[in-house]
Amino acid sequence: MKYIVVTGGVMSGLGKGITMASIGRILKNHGYKIVPIKIDPYINIDAGTMNPYQHGEVYVLGDGAEVDLDLGHYERFMDVDLGREHNITTGIVYSAVIERERRGEYLGQTVQIIPHVTNEIKARIRGVAEKSGADVCLVEIGGTVGDIESMPFLEAVRQMKLEERENDFLFVHVTLVPFTTLHEQKTKPTQHSVKALRELGLQPDIIVCRSREALREDVKDKIAMFCNVSPKAVISARDTEDIYEVPLLLEREGIFSYLMEKLQLEQSKEDPAWGRMVARRKLSSEGKKIRIAIVGKYAELEDSYLSIKEAIKHAATELGCKVEMKWIEAEELEEEKEVDFDDVRGILVPGGFGVRGAEGKIKAIEYARENKIPFLGLCFGFQLAVIEAARNVAGLKDANSSELCETPHPVIDLLEEQREVVKKGGTMRLGDYEVFIRRETLAERIYQKRKIVERHRHRYEVNPAYIEQIEREGVVFSGTDRSGTRMEIMEISPDIHPFFLATQFHPEFKSRPNKPSAPFKAFLEACININPKIQTLNPNQYQIPKTQ
């Protein structure tokens, strides 16, 4: 097993996750099997309880793990499906050590960070690496060098480097090279950061320097000299418009040849598919522009909807168009009497929690339904679409969700099964579940399948007592769980509305740059086809795109 450990210095938010995901992609393009691990030095067991406003989106894996959004980057870049064990936090490590101590398994020893905590970390990394059968295991250590929280992890990988064979272990350090107003490229922050790393006994093998523009050769030489690496090991990673271009930039900078040399990897043919996809993205960014509205609660912090943004871009690439996202704060819609979506061709209401902004989102959904604007609702967006239909189509004026208020018509409610889960200390219905699609529906045309598997993250569900009442005037539940009691997809028949689809699940988590998610693609295609001036569309003209 070969290991590449990625650390970061100078400041957070440099794109360490993208750097690691890109290295993984490069290796994969060259035919290597890879496995990524993200280490998050926070004490939380997982990201489930974290506020997306502070940390960005909570990403959900197939097995239901709620994790850091970097795992989303890994899945999208490396095209792998990850599970809970691929995200190691301080909380997980310490609780395992403490449980073992309580069981008396340390046989009376004093339990310490070194060796007990570090051994636990090493065993977890090696366990995931070996189980995967990969050629190369990539480990990203979150935070920046010098943080107290990351110390045990850095110490663990220092020990691993000694224990593994000479050519099997390599450190990549990601730093920042700022520019002065006089356009000088400054190396001192990198020097300090590498110095801090070396004080902990870690010598980087490769230094990836993030900067506004490409590094000058003399700047690279200077970094090489002060940081004790070969000039070939200083990789310039300049800012780029398209994150998916980063693997190509890094490879052009020689990172793969250097990795090959250091890890003694064999030369192999490169798969050109990724390069082609990036070229297509460039082309589509010059293509037809369409604007869609995203009505959310954290609209000002776009990172909280990262996977949705990416899924939109993946679909846009395939359709050859450029999508401009107009972020609309739902709460502001509540105050305005008239909703103005004149300049958008589609409306998307993403997932969310709580009452703030909910009525604004319902207003946006009503507008999309009445004015026949393509609409895609995701999770909370689905639940609110059901409420909107219950109120304005089925005439249940007080329809609401019991998450939001007490109501005589809880069309969205906690199902008995979920109450049990909550009672047992569980939280939500999380991760992959099968969805069964009704024949001859929009959903079937979009997915071109009768059974799909998508990821979930929710507590509340459509209340089965109201289904019959809600299903009228073209409103249908076109996807359910196996038993048929949990509603998973709601749509309005294409005879009545050009495109109205909402899902209880989160299709955005399975979208990949080379394999866009089917509902996103169909939604965007409807946005392209619709004539915003007339705002109606002959459903016979509307062609659902072929998927896959």
What contacts 24+ positions apart, CB below 8 Å, involve 451-455? 452/479, 454/503, 454/505, 454/506, 454/507, 454/509, 454/510, 455/60, 455/61, 455/62, 455/431, 455/505, 455/506, 455/509, 455/510
Using CB under 6 A as the binding criterion, the count of chain residues that bind ligand GLN stands at 11
Among 351, 479, 507, 513, binds ligand GLN (CB under 6 A): 351
The least CB distance from residue 383 to ligand GLN, in Å, is 6
- Single out the segment in contact with ligand GLN by CB under 6 A; choices: 127-135, 270-278, 346-354, 516-524: 346-354
Cα angle for residues 109, 115, 119 (degrees, 5° grid): 115
- Among candidate residues 251, 253, 508, 525, the one labeled active-site is 508
Does 403 engage in binding with ligand GLN (CB under 6 A)? yes
The least CB distance from residue 354 to ligand GLN, in Å, is 7
Least Cα distance to 249 among 257, 260, 239 occurs for 239
Q: Which residue is nearest to ligand GLN (CB)?
A: 351
The least CB distance from residue 352 to ligand GLN, in Å, is 5
Among 445, 457, 486, 510, binds ligand GLN (CB under 6 A): 457
Among 352, 357, 377, 545, binds ligand GLN (CB under 6 A): 352
State the DSSP H helix or E strand holding residue 525, giving kind and residue range, or none if neither. Answer: helix 518-529
Q: How far apart are CA 59 and CA 84, in angstroms?
A: 11
Looking at beta carbons only, is 13 or 354 nearer to ligand GLN? 354
Cα angle for residues 150, 153, 158 (degrees, 5° grid): 125
Least Cα distance to 210 among 439, 13, 487 occurs for 13
Looking at beta carbons only, is 26 or 58 nearer to ligand GLN? 58
The least CB distance from residue 504 to ligand GLN, in Å, is 8
Who contacts 269 (Cβ-Cβ below 8 Å, separation ≥6)?
30, 31
| Whether 245 is catalytic | no
The least CB distance from residue 312 to ligand GLN, in Å, is 17
Q: Tokens standing for 212?
A: 């506004």
Q: Tokens standing for 526?
A: 């409807």
Does 497 engage in binding with ligand GLN (CB under 6 A)? no
Does 460 engage in binding with ligand GLN (CB under 6 A)? yes
Looking at beta carbons only, is 149 or 329 nearer to ligand GLN? 329
Among 262, 363, 372, 458, binds ligand GLN (CB under 6 A): 458
Looking at beta carbons only, is 138 or 364 nearer to ligand GLN? 364
Burial label for 331, CB within 10 Å (0-12, 13-18, 19+), is middle
- Single out the segment in contact with ligand GLN by CB under 6 A; choices: 62-70, 121-129, 451-459, 535-543: 451-459
In contact, 349 and 384? CB cutoff 8 Å: yes
Who contacts 266 (Cβ-Cβ below 8 Å, separation ≥6)?
260
- Among candidate residues 379, 461, 488, 527, the one labeled active-site is 379
| Whether 527 is catalytic | no
Looking at beta carbons only, is 36 or 296 nearer to ligand GLN? 296
Does 262 engage in binding with ligand GLN (CB under 6 A)? no
The least CB distance from residue 286 to ligand GLN, in Å, is 34
- Single out the segment in contact with ligand GLN by CB under 6 A; choices: 215-223, 274-282, 305-313, 453-461: 453-461
Looking at beta carbons only, is 71 or 537 nearer to ligand GLN? 71
Name beta bridge partners: 491: 476, 501
Please spell the DSSP secondary structure of 259-319, one letter per residue: HHHHHTPPP-PPPTHHHHHHHHHHHHHTSEEEEEEEEESSTT-GGGGHHHHHHHHHHHHHH
Burial label for 510, CB within 10 Å (0-12, 13-18, 19+), is buried
Sheet holding 206-211, edge to edge: 87-89, 34-40, 136-141, 2-8, 169-176, 206-211, 234-238
- Single out the segment in contact with ligand GLN by CB under 6 A; choices: 276-284, 348-356, 388-396, 483-491: 348-356
Q: How far apart are CA 166 and CA 380, in angstroms?
A: 51
- Among candidate residues 488, 506, 525, 527, the one labeled active-site is 506
Does 459 engage in binding with ligand GLN (CB under 6 A)? yes
Who contacts 125 (Cβ-Cβ below 8 Å, separation ≥6)?
3, 37, 88, 137, 139, 156, 157, 160
| Whether 227 is catalytic | no
State the DSSP H helix or E strand holding residue 421, giving kind and residue range, or none if neither. Answer: helix 416-423
Looking at beta carbons only, is 59 or 380 nearer to ligand GLN? 380
Please spell the DSSP secondary structure of 443-497, one letter per residue: HHHHH-SSEEEEEEEES-EE-GGGHHHH--TTEEEEEE-TTS-SEEEEEE-TTT-
Does 258 engage in binding with ligand GLN (CB under 6 A)? no
The least CB distance from residue 350 to ligand GLN, in Å, is 7
Looking at beta carbons only, is 29 or 418 nearer to ligand GLN? 418
The least CB distance from residue 512 to ligand GLN, in Å, is 21
The least CB distance from residue 234 to ligand GLN, in Å, is 43
The least CB distance from residue 458 to ligand GLN, in Å, is 3
Looking at beta carbons only, is 353 or 436 nearer to ligand GLN? 353
- Residues between 366 and 395 with contacts to ligand GLN, criterion CB under 6 A: 379-380, 383
Provide the binding-site residues for ligand GLN, judged by CB under 6 A: 351-353, 379-380, 383, 403, 457-460
| Catalytic center residues | 379, 506, 508
